[in-house]
Amino acid sequence: MAHAKGRGEPVPARIVQKKEFLDRVVAASGAGRSAARPIIDAVLEQLGEAIAAGETLAIPPFGKARVSHQRDVRGSDIITMRLRRKSLDGADRLGDADD
C-alpha cells in the first residue's frame, strides 16, 4: 500500500492493467506498439518466472526485489516481494510490493 503524502496513513494502490502499462511503455520509448508488445510480453514473462523461482532481482532503475514463498492454510502459494529503490533524492526507500 502507498502512503498519503506527508502522512503515515496507508491508501489503496491504484491498479494498472496490462494495456495501460503497454501504452505507458510505448509512449516512454517512442517505439511502435507492434514492435514493443512482444518485447514487453517477454520481459513480463521473465520477471514472473524469476519471481516464481524465488530469485532476487537487481534491475536498476526498477530496484532490488527480494522474493519469499509461503503456503497459506488452504495450500495456496503466497509470494511476497520486497522492493528496495533509490528515491529521486538518491536515498534508499524500502517498500512492500505486495501491499
**Averaged pLDDT in 10-residue chunks for the chain of 99 residues:** 61 92 95 94 94 92 91 87 81 49
**pTM score, two decimals?**
0.67
**What DSSP state is assigned to residue 6?**
T
Confidence (pLDDT) at 26:
96
Grid coordinates 502522512 are at which residue? 7
**Cell numbers describing residue 23:** 501504452
Confidence (pLDDT) at 7:
61
Confidence (pLDDT) at 71:
86
Confidence (pLDDT) at 98:
44
Q: Enumerate the domain spans of the chain.
A: 1-53, 54-99
What's the angle, vertex CA 52, arms to CA 50 and CA 56, rounded to 5? 45
